[in-house]
Chains A and B, each alone.
Chain A
Amino acid sequence: MAGVKQRGTRLFEWFDRRTGLTEPVTEMAAHPTPASAASWWYVFGSAATVLLALQVITGILLALVYSPSASNAWPSLQYINHNLTLGWYLRAIHGWGSDFMIAIVLIHMAQVFLFGAYKFPRELTWIVGVFLLLFTLGMAFTGQVMRFDQDAYWGLGIGASILSRVPFIGGPLVHLLLGGPIIAGATLSRFFALHVFIIPGMLLGFVGLHIWMVLHLGINEWPMPGRLVRKADYERNYHALTRETGVPFVPDAAWKDAVFAAVIILAVMACAYFFGPFGPTGTPDPTIIQTAPKPDLPFLWIFAVLAYLPPEMETGVLLIAPIVIIGGLLLLPLIAGEGEKHWSRRPVAVLMVTLIAVTLAIFTRLGTQTPWSPIMDAWSADPVPAEYLAHRTPLERRGALVFQEKQCRDCHSLDGVGGRRGPALDAIAARMTEDQIIRQVLQGGGNMPAYGKALSPSETEALTRFLMTLRGHGLPSAVDTSQGLQPQSGTHPVVPATRAPKTP
Chain B
Amino acid sequence: MSEPTEEQKTPVHDSALPADSVPEVWRPTARERDAARASASSRRTFLFKLALGLNGLVGAVFAVPILGYLLGPVLKKKDGYNSWVKLGTVDTFPKGETRLAEYINPVTSPSDGATAKTACWVRRTEDGQFQVFAINCAHLGCPVRWFAQSQLFLCPCHGGAYYADGSRASGPPPRGLFEYEHRVEDDALMIFAGQLPTLSTEACRGKGPLEQNNPASTAQAKDGGSPAASETRRSTWQA
Hey, which bits of chain A sit against chain B, CB under 8 A?
17, 20-21, 23-25, 28, 46, 49, 69-72, 153-154, 157-158, 160-166, 170-172, 174-176, 178-189, 208-209, 211-212, 214-215, 249, 254, 257, 283-287, 289-294, 303, 306-312, 314-315, 372-374, 376, 379, 405-408, 410-411, 421-423, 431, 440, 443-454, 496-498, 500
Given known A-B contacts A291-B143, A372-B158, A454-B151, A449 and B169 have beta carbons under 8 A apart: yes
CB of A157 within 8 A of CB of B158, answer: no
How many angstroms from the CA of A311 to the CA of B138 in the assembled complex?
11
Residues of B within 8 A of A69 (CB): 111, 113
A-B contact pairs, 16 of them (CB 8 A): A23-B8, A71-B112, A170-B199, A184-B116, A185-B113, A208-B5, A286-B114, A289-B119, A373-B156, A421-B159, A423-B238, A444-B170, A446-B170, A447-B238, A453-B217, A454-B152
| Residue contact B73 to A176, C-beta cutoff 8 Å | yes
Other A-B pairs beyond A174-B198, A306-B172, A308-B239, 18, CB < 8 Å: A17-B16, A20-B11, A28-B4, A46-B1, A70-B112, A72-B111, A160-B196, A164-B201, A180-B81, A181-B105, A187-B115, A286-B135, A287-B114, A311-B173, A445-B235, A446-B237, A447-B159, A498-B236
Q: Which residues of A contact B171 (CB under 8 A)?
A: 447
CB atoms of B1 and A254 under 8 A apart: yes
Q: Does B142 contact A (CB under 8 A)?
A: yes
- B231 A449 Cβ-Cβ under 8 A: no
Q: Contact between B158 and A181 (Cβ–Cβ < 8 Å)?
A: no
Q: Does B163 contact A (CB under 8 A)?
A: yes
Pair B135/A293 contact, Cβ less than 8 Å: no
Chain A hits for B142, CB < 8 A? 154, 157-158, 293
Please choose the segment from B27-35, B41-49, B57-65, B219-227 that sits at the chain A interface, where 4 or more of its residues have CB less than 8 A away.
B219-227
Q: Given A23-B10, A24-B10 in contact, is the A71-B114 Cβ separation under 8 Å? A: yes
B residues sitting closer than 8 Å to A (CB atoms) are 1-12, 16, 70-71, 73-74, 76, 81, 100, 102, 105, 107-119, 135-136, 139-145, 147, 149-152, 154, 156-159, 161, 163-164, 169-174, 194-196, 198-201, 217, 220-221, 226-228, 231-239
Partner among A175, A212, A293, A446 whose Cβ is within 8 Å of the Cβ of B4: A212
CA distance A421 to B158 in the complex (A): 9
- In the bound complex, do residue A314 and residue B236 qualify as a contact, i.e. CB atoms below 8 Å apart? no
Among the listed A184, A188, A189, A209, which residue makes an inter-chain contact with B5, where contact means beta carbons less than 8 Å apart? A209
> Are B73 and A179 in touch, CB under 8 angstroms?
yes
Residue from A188, A289, A407 in contact with B147 in the complex, judged by beta carbons closer than 8 Å: A407
Residues in B neighbouring A376, C-beta threshold 8 A:
145, 154, 156
- Cα–Cα, bound, A309→B110 (Å): 39
The dominant DSSP class at the B interface is loop
Contact B232 A292 (CB under 8 A): no
Nearest to B156 among chain A residues (CB) is A292
On whether the beta carbons of B221 and A72 are closer than 8 Å, the reply is no
Minimum C-beta distance from B157 to chain A (A): 6
Q: Which residues of B contact A423 (CB under 8 A)?
A: 237-238
Task: Give Cα A184 to B4, complex, Å.
Answer: 42
| Contact call B200/A170, Cβ cutoff below 8 A | yes
Q: Is the CB of B115 within 8 A of A185?
A: yes
Residue of B81, B115, B147, B163 near A453 (CB, 8 A) is: B163
Contacts of B70 in A (CB 8 A): 176
Q: Which residues of A contact B71 (CB under 8 A)?
A: 176
